[in-house]
Structure 1
Amino acid sequence: MNTRPINVIIIAEALPAHLEDVHAIMAEVANLSRMEEGCLRYDVYSDSEHPTRMNTIELWQDQASLDRHLASPHVRRGVMQLIGKMAGLPQLRILRPAVEELN
């Protein structure tokens, strides 16, 4: 069983006319996510070169924590609120170490 923390990056593009709404929705999801058991980090950024491109950087204690998060009511509600405000589907990337740390 993998006990390593799970790193996740989500990249999504907001429609310019809805950028303020997208920021508010993503802020609410982030705040609620940070309170979840197993959440070690949950940050939301906009891209400095593409202000409508949103990025989340997340760190979850384990796969079970990430799975609970993805099925949580606030994530489902946030996804529903973002429909029609985003340019396409977000890209979910689960990252695994390419090089093991030497200790």
Structure 2
Amino acid sequence: MSKPRIHVITLAEIVPQHESEVIQVLRTAAVLTRQEDGCLRYDLYRDTTNPMRINTIEVWADEASLNRHMNAPHVKQAIMTLIGKLAGIPQFRVLQVVDEFEI
């Protein structure tokens, strides 16, 4: 049996006057993250009822890949740049697969 992949959802809300900058920072981070070893998927979404709510949905090959990502220089830079531009602290959820449909 193969090791289960690691799924992560991050939920955040943008302070409206910083919307353009936050979106650019997150898009840049997404491009760099997708190039990381072990990144199987990294997507950025807006909430349809509140476009200031932004989410990432990530899939990592394993916990080690996620840990490397969390310590990557571009992640640290994005976090520092986003201070004060998000409403509160983002929610970061690491998920364990219970039942998953694969294509």
Question: Shorter-normalised TM-score: what interval?
Answer: over 0.9
1:24-39 equivalence runs, <5 A: 24-39=24-39
Pairs aligned (count)? 100
User: What amino acid does structure 1 have at the position aligned with 2:43?
Assistant: D
d(CA) in 2 for partners of 1:63, 1:75: 16
TM superposition score normalised by structure 2: 0.92
Does residue 98 of the first structure (1) align with residue 102 of the second (2)? Answer: no
* % same residue: 48
Instruction: Give 1:100 deviation, angstroms.
Output: 7.1
Match of 2:7 in 1: 7
Unaligned residue ranges in structure 2 (runs of 5+): none
Q: Secondary structure at the match of 2:23?
A: helix
d(CA) in 1 for partners of 2:99, 2:26: 31
1:1-103 equivalence runs, <5 A: 3-99=3-99
d(CA) in 2 for partners of 1:22, 1:84: 10
What per-residue deviation string (whole Å, max 9, x for no partner) do you get for residues 63-97 of structure 1?
00000000000000000000110000000001112
Unaligned residue ranges in structure 1 (runs of 5+): none
CA-atom RMSD, angstroms?
A: 1.4
